[in-house]
Amino acid sequence: MTGKAKPKKHTAKELALKADAALTNRGGGKAGLADRTGHEKGGHAKFECPLCKVTAPDVKSMQIHHEARHPKIPFDESKISNLHATLAGDSSKPKPGIRGSLKK
């Protein structure tokens, strides 16, 4: 016997969200490895630290990283490499959907 306020069955919305979470590529595992490493178009992170090769999405985050990890070396914005400019994406590949999945 179930509790008074607990539904006995799953709702259609809940099932759709579970299926979406299970079937959509969120960037983890083998499917997101190329995106994380930046082989195709630089991945999510756009900038790379010239000293330790750590990536960051914007200049401000790179400056915070530099001040925390390399405090003795002065921060120079011109030395930061832009991965999206150096690694051009392959235009023949299909573009992912709204949530990153190629399935429709």
pLDDT score at 71: 94
* Annotated domain spans of the chain: 13-86
User: pTM (2 decimals)?
Assistant: 0.47
Query: What is the secondary structure of 3-71 as a DSSP string?
Result: -SSS-SS--HHHHHHHHHHHHS--S-TTTTHHHHHTSSS--S--EE-TTT--EESSHHHHHHHHHHH-T
How large a percentage of the chain has pLDDT more than 90? 20
Query: Given pLDDT bands bounded at 50, 70 and 90, which one contains residue 58?
Result: confident
